[in-house]
Every structure is written in C-alpha cells, then in structure tokens.
Amino acid sequence: MGVILMKVITLLTKEGKARYMLLDHNNEPVQPVLHYLKFKDNSGASRNTLRSFSYHLKLFFEFLEQINKDYRDIGIDEMADFIRWLQNPHQDVKVSPIFPKQPIRKAKTVNIIINTVLGFYDYLMRHEDYSIQLTERLKKQVPGSRKGFKSFLHHINKNKSFTSHILKLKVPKQQPKTLSKDQIALIMNACVNMRDLFLIQLLWESSMRIGEALTLWLEDFEVDARKIHIRDRGELSNLAEIKTVCSPRSIDVSEDLINMYFDYIAQFHTDEVDTNHVFIKLTGENKGQPLEYTDVVALVQRLRKKTGIYFTPHMLRHTSLTELRKAGWRDEHLMNRAGHAHIQTTMQMYIHPSDEDIRKDWENAQDRMKINKENKENNE
C-alpha cells in the first residue's frame, strides 16, 4: 500500500478572504474537518490558524487512511501510533527506518499537531457525538500549577491540580535565535532599495512581527510623536493580519526611522500608487499593490544568498527584544512592545543571560563573595 495523500485547497469567501478545505483522495471534502474549520472560523480563529489546522488534520486523516480506521474508532493506542508516524521519515505505517534517523518533526511541532487533533475531537464530542470521549481518556490530573512559576497565591493553590494530556513529548528548552549587530548591518548593507532597507530597519528597531509590518497603513505613522500604531483591521487584501487580540499597540521609534519612512514614501508612494498600505511592490504587473508574505520570503532569500547569513524576519524581532532586555527594560515594558498577552511569555523567551553576561556579573560580584579567614599558620 502506498502513501495516500490528501490535499488542502484555498477558497475565497464573498468578502475575498482566504479559507481552507481538506479534500480526500477522491477530491471530496472531509466533512467533519469542514465543520470543525467552519466552527473555528466563526469563533474568530485567524486565517493562519485555520490554515495550520487544515494541514495538521490532513496529516491525521492520511494516517487514518493508512491504518484503515474511521476517525470515530480512534483510541489511545492509535494516537500513540500517530505520534510515532509523525516522526517517521517515511510517513508510512508499513515502513520503518533500518538505521536510526533524526525525527522529521521536532517535539514541539508534534505536540502542536496533537493538540489540533485533540481540539478536533473535543469539538466532535461537544457538537456531534458525545460518545466520542477520546480527549477525556487522554486527560490526567496533575498536582500543582500548569504555570512554570509560583504565583502570588501559590500557598493557597498548591494543593489543587490541573488537567494535562498524557500524550505529550518533552520539548527541550531553547533560547530564541538572534543575530549580532554586525550581522544586521551586513543585511542592511545588502539591500538594494529604500523599501527593503526600511523594512529591515523597522523589524529590527520596532520589534514587530512581519505580519504586523505588512498591515501598516500610512496613517499608522504618527511622525511628530515618533510613534507607530499597530491596529486590528482583520484580514487585509494582502492576506496580512495581526496575530492576537493583544497585538494592537503603539510603539516608540527613533527619529532616524521616521526619516527613513519619509525618504521611502517620497520615493515610491507616488500619485500612481492607489493603496494606503505602507509596504508595496516596486516592480512587475502588480507594481504599487500591497506587499505580500511571498514577496518578503523572496527578499529574505535574496539577502541570505548575498550575505551568507541565515536569518528570518522573526529573528530580527527576537534580536530587538533581547537587546532591549539587555539594555535594562522592565518586563512589563518589554511585554507591551512585544504585544504578548502574558508577561510570563516575555520572561520565558527573553530573560536568558548569555555565558558572557553571567561571567561579567560574576567578575563584578566576586569581591563581595570573599571571606576574611584567619591564617592558622600565623596563629600557631
């Protein structure tokens, strides 16, 4: 039996918004997934979330085809097999690697896919068939708090418990990947026009996400106050949108960045441009139209090839927030600039001193650690 592939197709709503549908190998919609995605869409899930859910469930239903199981007949053992299948380089239940190989998906990715599938089954239980109790069978009660820190009321809640899923891979802790200032300078020097240079400088200085940069309109720049306002306008014509309900915020920027903004607008936002999106395409048949994610991907690939530096737009954000943390920014200010919903997210991601930082602090503190001990030889 060969690997049976399904496919995800993109549909456009009457409002011109992109939505997704999972088709089986007969090009028929997978109805339970169709209903679930519609539910998530009506619940306010973002386009990127819907797209991710579609591809995660595509993997799951391909797995079900291979083991010849109906989605209503899945238990704990099959879910454990699915985890192993997700890590199998061959993506086939009948083929296993002869020699040990690295899993094709990281533990974090596998956990995200499993959570999507469990969310799907939770929907089925609540909305279609209450006899489908898969998510309930995969839960366990864990004493303590699901948070990785002791809260202010820990002494009150310490005897309580929380619900956790038993199917969860351990994820090694990793620090966000960052760039050096010299590397960022090389990337900027490799830009061939003011738009690209302005975009890289904006991502580095403002700490914003690339999706947020692509949603910016001209009126979002308050030049006198040297502020940029990130606003929630939903899904825009270039398919850009902000990430979360906490993303709308105002960001202080430098006078240099505002001057770059003026230079870029004067050069490229001519009378022929019929959009108030800040970032636009500079060439081709769609010249003057809003810049899209695919355009940014192409730009990053060109800059990688030119500089030999591997980077992503999100690495510029991580680097920016890490540098602000090193500069002494308070946690709550860093959280606001990042657009995080919880301060713990900010602390876990950006409070990670380097070996150099630890060494420097030790050198500054070691004199305070000295103890004046009596010299036994002199006392004898």
Q: Residue 19 and residue 365: Cα distance in Å, rounded? A: 57
Q: Give the count of beta carbons closer than 10 Å to the beta carbon of residue 205.
A: 19
Given the residues 25, 90, 314, 359, select the one marked as catalytic. 314
* C-alpha–C-alpha distance, residues 8 and 59, integer Å: 11
Tokens of 90: 């061959």
Average pLDDT, integer, range 129-137: 58
**pLDDT at residue 242 in the model:** 82
User: What is the maximum alpha-carbon separation in the chain?
Assistant: 95
Q: Is 71 one of the catalytic residues? A: no
Handedness of CA 203, 205, 207, 212 (dihedral sign): negative
Listed by start position, the domains of the chain span 7-145+161-165, 181-360
| Alpha-carbon span 177 to 316, nearest angstrom | 9
Just give the CATH number of 181-360. 1.10.443.10
Active-site residue identified among 56, 209, 281, 325: 209
Who has greater pLDDT, 132 or 188?
A: 188
* Residue 169's pLDDT band (cuts 50, 70, 90): confident
* pLDDT recorded at residue 98: 57
User: What is the C-alpha separation between 309 and 184, in angstroms, rounded?
Assistant: 9
3-class DSSP state for residue 239? coil
Q: Which of 317, 318, 325, 337 is catalytic?
A: 317
Q: With CA atoms as reference, report the closest residue to 237 among 297, 295, 289, 281.
A: 289
**Residue closest to 173 by CA, chosen among 151, 148, 145:** 148
CB atoms within 10 A of CB 347: 17
Residue 37's pLDDT band (cuts 50, 70, 90):
very high
Q: Please write the tens of the pLDDT for every residue from 178-224.
A: 899 999 999 999 999 999 999 999 999 999 999 999 999 999 999 99
167-183 mean pLDDT: 79
Predicted confidence at residue 227, as pLDDT, reads 96
Active site residue 209: yes
Tens digit of each residue's pLDDT (9 = 90 or more) over 55-84: 999 999 999 999 999 988 888 888 889 999
Told to judge if 147 belongs to the known catalytic residues of this protein, a careful annotator would answer no
Q: What's the chain's length in residues? A: 380
pLDDT above 90 as % of the chain? 49
How far apart CA 293 and CA 243 sit, in angstroms, is 14
**51: which 2 tokens?**
């797209």
Q: How confident is the model at residue 344 (pLDDT cuts 50, 70, 90)?
A: confident
Q: What is the pLDDT of residues 259-302, one digit of tens each?
A: 999 999 999 999 999 999 999 999 999 999 999 999 999 999 99
Q: How confident is the model at residue 162 (pLDDT cuts 50, 70, 90)?
A: very low
Quote the pLDDT of residue 142. 47
Task: Give me the catalytic one of 243, 249, 306, 352.
Answer: 243
- Closest by CA to 144, choosing from 123, 124, 164, 168, is 164
Indicate the average pLDDT of the chain.
84
Q: Which residue has the higher pLDDT, 234 or 349?
A: 234
Task: Name the more confident of 368 and 207.
Answer: 207
- The helix (run of H) or strand (run of E) holding residue 330 is none
344 contacts 149 by C-beta, under 8 angstroms = yes
pLDDT in tens, 94-114: 666 655 566 778 888 999 999
* pLDDT at position 62: 93
243 is catalytic: yes
